[in-house]
Amino acid sequence: MGKIILGSSSPRRADILKKLNLDFEIIPSSYVEPHDQTVFSYDYVENLAYNKALYVAKDLSYPALVIGADTIVVIDNKILGKPHDKQDAYNMLKMLSGKTHFVVTGVAVVNSENLKYKIKSTTTYVTFENLTDEQIHYYIENFKPFDKAGSYGIQELPDGYVKKVEGAIDNVIGLPSETLTELLNMDYT
């Protein structure tokens, strides 16, 4: 197989690929995500990942495996997207405080030559400590979580915010490396 393309402009996803020592290029996907879904389903997150990869793969004129990924934060079966503003971020973090939620990343790999694809999701459970209003405001002001689902990036949360993580932490960051490695090693002919 030819090149590996990351169909995302996420620096966090690129960092995970670098840690896997993969030689890759970045071509951000032009796919526009619908933001009308509020109830969680695996099909939804997997379709987002697939469409992100497909939009890059179908425009390539050379052989490549294109990676698409989408990460969502879910509590009480409700999807928490990226916050619109500080109040929205506060509301989300308040909702997550003291509770267990789960993070799902759908990963799709599409072969640009024949558009054959594989998709897999990974789920990780995250339990937050009981956060004070001061902790929430501090995090929002200092870490500006407006580009992150659920209003947080687990890799940047200060000590005392997360009680436990069950599953792959790189999934919460945005790309589960074990799942990605498995998909890249599959046959796309």
The 3-state secondary structure of the chain reads CCEEEECCCCHHHHHHHHHCCCCEEECCCCCCCCCCCCECCHHHHHHHHHHHHHHHHCCCCCCEEEEEEEEEEEECCEEECCCCCHHHHHHHHHHHCCCEEEEEEEEEEEECCCCCEEEEEEEEEEEECCCCHHHHHHHHHHHCCCCCHHHCCHHHCCCCCEEEEECCHHHHHCCCHHHHHHHHCCCCC
CA–CA separation, 189 and 95 (whole Å): 45
Tokens of 132: 């004070």
Asked if 31 and 94 count as a contact pair (C-beta separation under 8 A), the reply is: no
CA–CA separation, 172 and 103 (whole Å): 6
Asked if 72 and 79 count as a contact pair (C-beta separation under 8 A), the reply is: yes
Please check the confidence at residue 13 and state whether its pLDDT lies above 90.
yes
Percent of the chain residues past pLDDT 90, beyond the cut? 93
Please check the confidence at residue 27 and state whether its pLDDT lies above 60.
yes
CA–CA separation, 9 and 171 (whole Å): 17
Q: What is the pLDDT of residue 19?
A: 96
To which residue do tokens 């995302």 refer? 8
Please check the confidence at residue 1 and state whether its pLDDT lies above 60.
no
Q: pLDDT-based confidence at 167, cuts 50/70/90?
A: very high
Please check the confidence at residue 36 and state whether its pLDDT lies above 80.
no
Mean pLDDT, rounded, for 35-55: 93
Out of 70, 76, 170, 187, which one is annotated catalytic?
70
Please check the confidence at residue 184 and state whether its pLDDT lies above 70.
yes
Tokens of 150: 């659920």
To which residue do tokens 């001061």 refer? 134
Question: Is 70 known to be catalytic?
Answer: yes
Task: Work out the mean pLDDT of the chain and round it to a whole number.
Answer: 95
Mean pLDDT, rounded, for 149-155: 94
Q: What is the pLDDT of residue 34?
A: 83
Q: What is the pLDDT of residue 33?
A: 85
Within its chain, how far is the Cα of 64 from the centroid? Answer: 21
Q: Rounded to two decimals, what is the model's pTM?
A: 0.94
CA–CA separation, 52 and 154 (whole Å): 23
